[in-house]
Each structure stands twice: as structure tokens, then as C-alpha cells.
Structure 1
Amino acid sequence: MAPPPYTACIKEPPPVTSQTIAVVLYDDVLLLDVAGPIEVFSVANRYLPVAHHYQVRTYAPGGRPVRSSCGLVLQADAALPQVPEAAALLLVPGGPGAYARQQPELATWLAAHARQARRWGAVCTGAFLLGAAGLLDGHRCTTHWNYQARLASEYPATRVEPDQIYVADGALLTTGGVTAGIDMALAVVAQDHGKETALEVAKVLMVVMRRQGGQAPYAPLLAAVLRDDSAIARVQAYVVDHIDQAFSVARLAEMATMSARNFARAFAREVGITPMEYVQNARIDHARKLLESTDLPLKQVACRAGFGSARHMRLVFAERMGLTPSQYRLQFSYT
């Protein structure tokens, strides 16, 4: 059954004036970053009195059409100077055009005008355009897990939160990858019109109001192992290839023909985490592959990944991933 234009069962929200959601477009923007949040606000209007409707508008440099990264051409409603100063939200979607292209005109405009909006933010890699405009300096933010290290490196004055689906820091809103723009838009609707309205929108879109596990379940904990002749690389490769074995710092140091203290220091300096953190991350990644691709009982998954018991694996998963192994399998299994 289609939702009614007004929902009597939902408690009337506090008065909110008609408001503009200003979405910035540019060449090589990711289409889903644009469409996902827009659909949230569009569906929300079905549940709101007309006076409270969101007015979604798109803006591009020069008001010209832009070609999205998938090839579809988008016609902006207007040029950037026409963005209302008091927009409820100024939103910058992500895409290759945000992190792989120079957008000086857009960055300059954002630096001068974004803070005039009540809230401003980015979906996914749109954070790079905010960074270029100086809008991330001194703020907490996030972006897609695959680009977090690069964002932190290019804009060191910001603090990148690695495991968040979206981050609200004052008026600044940023999200993880792609569909996280929907999560952020639902949070905006909840803030403006109450959680009940946001939940109704989530039901229509068949998404959850709050995902479990943040970004951690989507990102590998370890990068691919460099299989060279260095002592540290040899140890890393051995751990990954023999993950069902028991390891200690002393045993790993022996493989590297180093003292335990020197090995631990060298490993942390070169890899960025301690040897035992590396072992645990390797166990989690191996278990995740088994949970995704097999129907093995959890006890066998735990044994093959070196956890020793399903109980220990469950504790580690819950702490590190925000999901139990069973929940992870339910969400990501392709068998």
C-alpha cells in the first residue's frame, strides 16, 4: 500500500519552514551519491504537510549539464550562485570528479559560501572537495573506507573517523561510501521531523534506520601482503599462509632472526600495528572469507582461522567488527 501524503499516526513534528536541499553537481559525480539522499527527502515529503516539504534542487558550475561517472548526463536546476544562503543542507556527492580531478572553481565557491547553509556536508568521496575548500579543518569526518588514509594524508587538519557510517560534527555532515548518503539523509529527516517520520521513510526504501557494525564489515583489515625478502614481509606472509597456527611475539621474532624487543619495534614501525594486532586482523580476515564463501560450522571456521574456539571468535568479532560471526555470515554470505 502506498504511503499517504500525510500520516495521522505520526506525531506532528515541531514547526519547520519549507527548506531547500541544495545538491552540488560536477563532471564525474557518482550517480548513486546524488540519487540516494534525494530519494530520502522526496519520500519524506509524502509524510509531511506541504509547508514542511523539502525543496530539493541541484546546482552546477555555470548551471550546465554534467556527465556522471556512469555516463548519464544530469541537468542542474541552476548555477552555483543561485544556492539559497539559508539552505537547510548543502550537499556535495562523491565520485571520481571529487578525488581524481582538480575542481578549483567549485572548491573556491564552497569555501566562500558553504557555511551560509544551516548544514553542509558530503557523501562518500565528496569529502575531498570539502577538504580542498578548507571545510574539514578542525572537524571530525569520514569517507569511504578505501579513501580514508588518503583523505587523512591530504587534509591533516581534520580527524578522519575510520569506522563510522556517517559523522555529524556541528553543522558538518560526512558519510562513508555511496549508500551511506541514505543513512545520513535519514538522520537529517529524523533531526528535522522526528525519528518516527524517518522510520517510515526507511520502510518505504526498504533500508534499516541504523546499520550494525559501521564500515568495519565492508573493509579488509589487512592490505595485500608484499612478498619480498625483507624479514618483516616474510613474517607477514607466513602468518597469512599459516593462520591456523598459534603465534607469539617470541615465535615471530625467531622467524625474523631478531630479538623479541627489536622485532616488535621494527614490525610496529614498518606495518603500523603490533605483531599480535596483525595476527588478530589476519585471523578475522580469514574467518570472514570462510563465512562469506562456505557453510562450515562456526567451530570449524574458528579452528581454521586460528581462534581456537567459536566463543573466542565471537568475542573478537563483536569487539572489532560490531557483528557476531553469524550476523556477518547472514549479511555477506554468497553461498
Structure 2
Amino acid sequence: MTHRVAVLLVPPVVPFDTTIPGLVLGSARDAGGRPCYEVRTCTPVPGPVASDSDVEILVRHGLEVLDEADTIVVPGTYSREETDPRVFEALRRAAGEGRRLVSICTGAFMLGMAGILDGRRVTTYWRRSEEFARRFPAVEFDPRVLFVDDGRVLTSAGLAAGIDLCLHIIRSDFGAAVANDVARLVVMAPVRQGGQAQFIAAPVSSGNGTASLSVTREWALRHLDRSLTLADLAGHARVSVRTLTRRFGAETGMAPLQWLLHARVERAKELLESTALPVGEVARLSGLGSADSLRAHLVRRAGLTPTAYRAAFAADPPRG
């Protein structure tokens, strides 16, 4: 069945945030080309919805859409005290029924004001972090990450981090192959490592003319079947190992070999989903070496053996 998503706009909205669920989730297709999600937008009072810019967004559906949704997404909003109380009633009802609640950027304030976030680990846009932490002291707030998946409640940092979270949702619901197809459509890295802390402190470039390591990371992704070392990565980037390690941490929030291992596991997951290759060959092509190594890493990260992962996510699981 198509997963039903309701996007709840609480004016005044952040226009960019409002487009993310429809664009990203709405682009997901299964192996037969069928939409994975049905995305509908709603608001307390249907009609023109004010934003923080000089545009209005015409919304045709009211809050009744929320009662039909499997997932509710609340994009960024500047609303605080004047929010329609029906919004909080609907969100609390959805939480009580066990439906998935998602916020993008400052949409987390709506979940917090509804009392849904108490005791949970969450995040929001870093520029609103002090306000958020002050208003919701019972929340375990993490301002460093791009998004948090806390079971039935998921929250993201600002703007583009909403795309990261939607790709994560697709990956969790339908597997890495579907998510990677959508990532290519929206010209986004399938998994963007690190957190928003890297954007708070400094831009990706050092500011002194030093180029980003993104080209080296792309090169590594094309050669995951090789036994790549720190020296190999540093050689490609034409920097010392020490400089590579420092800049890798600044750009991704991870050490180079930690990032490389994550990329290998993601490649293995995609191959398990999209091919019928033997597990040993999947391990070789992803650079994990052996079937035993692949099994150990996949169980640690996904909680499934390669065979179980393939059975759960492959578009056409091999028979026999």
C-alpha cells in the first residue's frame, strides 16, 4: 500500500521547507514504478497560507487530512504563541495512535508545544537552538546533528537537513536503492555525514583558498572495491595524512576511515537490494573483504544479516 503523508503547514511558514516532503518523498518509486508515498498538504484554515517572504502558498486541505495519514510532517514555521490549538490536539492524537511524526527545521517547536517531545532526543535549526532548549527543558536536545530518528518521532535541523531526513525515511521504509534513486533526482548525497555543527563553526572551505575534499570523497566512492588507506586518500587530495584527517573531520564530522567504512556498508546494502550477487561478491565489491566481515558490520549497523536484509529490502529477492 502507498504510505500516506500529511504535510502540516502552520503559518507563517518557511517556503523552502514546505516543498521538501512533496519533492523528496513524492519522488520515491518502487521497482514497478509505483509511488511509494501519497503526499498531501494541509493547514488549519484552507486557502492562502502566509510565509516569511513575499509569497503565499495555496493549500486546499484542512486538518482532516491528518487523521488519514500514516506520517505527519511539520515543516519550518515562525509561529509560536498564536498557533491554532487544533494543531496541537491533532498532533497529540496522532502521537497517541502511534503514527509517525516528523519535523523539519523549526517545525520541532510545534511538536514541543504539543508536549510530544518530552524525554526524547531531538534537534532543530541551530539558530533557534537556545530558544528551543530554553522553552523545552524536558527534551534531550542535540544541536550538532542533521537529524534525529527517535522511533516514531523524527526531527531535523534547518532547511537542507530536511532533505537528509526525508532520504533517511525513504531508506528506512523502502531501502537504500529507492533512497539513492531519489537522491540522484534531487542532486543530493544519499547520506550526508557529519552534523550541523560543521556549518555553525565555519563553511566547508577553510576560507584561505583550500579546496573541499568532496572530489576525493567522490573518488573514494567510485573505488570502494579497492583496499583504500589513509595514504591513498591523502595522495589523491594532495595533502598530508595529518591535513587530510583534520579537514575530513571539519567537513564531515567523521574520521576518514570511519566515513569510508560507512560508505562501504551503504554500498553493500544497495548491492544486496538491487542485485542477486552472492554475499561474498557483495562484500568484495563494497570493500568489506569477506562475507563474515560484511555480516558483522551489517548486523551491527542494521540489525540484520545479509540474507535477512536482502529478503526484507530486495526488489526481487533471489529464489532458492
Smaller-chain TM-score range? 0.5 to 0.7
Q: Is 2:140 the counterpart of 1:141?
A: no
Distance in 1 (alpha carbons) for counterparts of 2:114 and 2:27: 31
CA contact (8 A) 1:314 1:325 kept: no
* Cα pair distance change 1:183/1:296, threshold 3 Å: closer
Alpha carbons of structure 1 residues 292 and 319: separation in structure 2 relative to 1, 3 Å: closer
Report the counterpart of residue 208 of structure 2 in structure 1: 294
Match of residue 20 from structure 2: 36
Residue type of the alignment partner of 2:47: R
**Which of the residues 72, 79, 83 maps onto 1:90?**
72
Which consecutive unaligned segments of at least 5 residues does structure 1 have?
Answer: 1-16, 221-284, 299-309, 327-335
Q: Which residue of 2 aligns with 1:118?
A: 99
Does residue 78 (structure 1) correspond to residue 53 (structure 2)? The answer is no
What do the CA deviations read for 1:225-265 (whole angstroms, capped 9, x no partner)? xxxxxxxxxxxxxxxxxxxxxxxxxxxxxxxxxxxxxxxxx
CA contact (8 A) 1:90 1:117 kept: no
Taking the aligned partners of 1:192 and 1:61, their CA distance within structure 2 comes to: 28
Q: 1:114 to 1:76 in 2, by over 3 A?
A: farther
Q: Which amino acid aligns with 2:208?
A: T
- Within a 5 Å distance, the mapping from 1:1-335 to structure 2 comes to 17-45=1-29, 49-50=33-34, 53-85=36-68, 87-97=69-79, 99=80, 102-116=83-97, 118-220=99-201, 291-295=205-209, 315=245, 318=248, 322-323=252-253
Distance 1:324 1:172, change over 3 A: closer
2:13–2:50 CA contact under 8 A, matched in 1: yes
Show CA shifts across 1:42-71 (max 9, x none): 211376543x53111111113333122223
- Report the Cα distance in structure 2 between the residues aligned to 1:118 and 1:48, rounded to whole angstroms: 27
What is the rounded CA distance, in whole Å, between the counterparts of 2:210 and 2:56 in structure 1?
A: 46
- TM-score, scaled to structure 1: 0.61
1:149 partner amino acid? E
**In 2: Cα distance, 1:156 partner to 1:293 partner:** 36
**Aligned partner of 1:140: which letter?**
R
- Worse-matched range after superposition: 196-205 or 54-63: 54-63
- Matched residue SS, 1:65: strand
What CA distance in whole angstroms lies between the structure 2 residues aligned with 1:104 and 1:190? 33
1:184 Cα deviation (Å)? 1.0
The one-letter code matched in structure 1 to 2:41 is T
Indicate conservation of the 8 Å contact 2:21/2:39, yes or no: no
1:316/1:101 Cα in 2 relative to 1: closer, same or farther (>3 Å)?
farther
> Judging changes above 3 Å, is the alpha-carbon distance between structure 1 residues 296 and 189 closer, same or farther for their aligned structure 2 residues?
closer
CA distance in 1, matches of 2:211, 2:41: 50
- SS of residue matched to 2:59: coil
Q: Who wins on radius of gyration, i.e. which is larger?
A: 1
- Indicate conservation of the 8 Å contact 1:137/1:157, yes or no: yes
Partner of 2:261: none
Residues 46 and 324 (structure 1 numbering): CA distance in 2 closer, same or farther, change over 3 Å? closer
Provide TM-score, normalisation by structure 2.
Answer: 0.63
Count of aligned pairs between the two proteins: 230
Taking a change above 3 Å as real, the CA distance of residues 317 and 117 of structure 1, as seen in their structure-2 partners, is same
Q: Structure 1: how far apart are the matches of 2:41 and 2:254?
A: 41
Q: Is the 8 Å Cα contact of residues 193 and 254 (structure 2) preserved in structure 1?
A: no
Q: By how many angstroms is 1:77 displaced?
A: 3.3
Q: CA deviation at 1:102?
A: 4.2
Letter in structure 2 aligned against 1:217: Q
Partners of 1:124 and 1:143 within 8 A in 2: yes
Distance 1:200 1:102 in 2: 37
> Distance in 2 between the 1:128 and 1:185 partners?
19
- Residue type at the aligned position of 2:48: P
Aligned to 1:62, the other structure's residue is in SS state coil
CA RMSD of aligned residues (A): 3.1
Structure 2 unmatched runs, 5+: 213-239, 257-320
